[in-house]
Structure 1
């Protein structure tokens, strides 16, 4: 899922033009996402497991497709914001589930690492939720001035 997140973020950063605050936040969260991947690899390594390269590639591909799907929309920034908010909550739910599994399976050393990632996902979701009105207002303002407002 984190590789899918990187693909989504990268495609959006490639296209963002008028929303500097969003681009800055996406860049910050991209760094967090890379750290989350590192934490997951650390946990898997401690369990003598590894990630699935095939699953990673497939999810990265679907992340690219999702971002490209919004690229043709006249309100790309809005659709991306909504999708990002939904995806952050999906990731948060995934981390909550992993924490429950770690606690049930007596893998307590994984819990702090997973909790750190959960906290980051919840913070990003909250940031997006708080910014929906401002992003929408900026979109409307740019559109009403005849400027390219979609990204």
Structure 2
């Protein structure tokens, strides 16, 4: 049983760091987007959901009497910053950002799916319910990203083909 709990606690710390990374990525991308209002609005909405998810995760962490991993949180923020900087250097920033966002959302879906099982086996059914709530939000964002990727791509291609029109963001 101790192994279940130890892994569960490690994965809670990972989830906390993952949400910190998501927050940084969403902030950077939504700040830079200028010509894609629907994408910008959805990113802003998901940024608020992400901040609320961090609060929910912190409550589960506190209830389980474990500490956050400052190192993991810091490394996640640095990774998000690196991703944002790398994206800024490409002429198709908005498309690459939309693709990366879709991939990251699916990563989060997988993590919360796993965390639900871990919480149940570690004896934390309340945590499992929190993760089910978060999972629904992450799945909704992943679905939205998938469904709107063609639109973002088309908008970018049309803007990039138009003379004197910025398309990258």
Q: What TM-score comes out, normalization by structure 1 length?
A: 0.97
Verify: 1:150 aligned to 2:150, yes or no. Answer: no
Contact 1:11 1:68 in 2 (8 A): no
Structure 1 stretches of 4+ moved >2 Å: none
Answer yes or no: is 1:66 the counterpart of 2:83.
Answer: yes
- What's the CA shift for 1:44? 0.7
User: How much does 1:50 deviate?
Assistant: 2.0
Unaligned runs of 5+ in 2: 1-17
Alpha-carbon displacement from aligned partner over 1:31-60 (angstroms, at most 9, x marks no partner): 000011011101011111121122111101
For residues 64-91 of structure 1, the C-alpha deviation after alignment (integer angstroms, 9 at most, x for no partner) is: 1111111111110110000000000001
Distance 2:113 2:39 in 1: 26
Q: Could you state the TM-score of these two structures normalised by the residue count of structure 2?
A: 0.87
Matches within 5 A, 1:1-150: 1-146=18-163, 147-150=165-168
Unaligned stretches of 5+ residues in structure 1: none
Contact 1:95 1:114 in 2 (8 A): yes
| Aligned positions, number | 151
Aligned-residue Cα RMSD (Å) equals 0.8
Cα distance in 2 between the residues matched to 1:109 and 1:143? 49
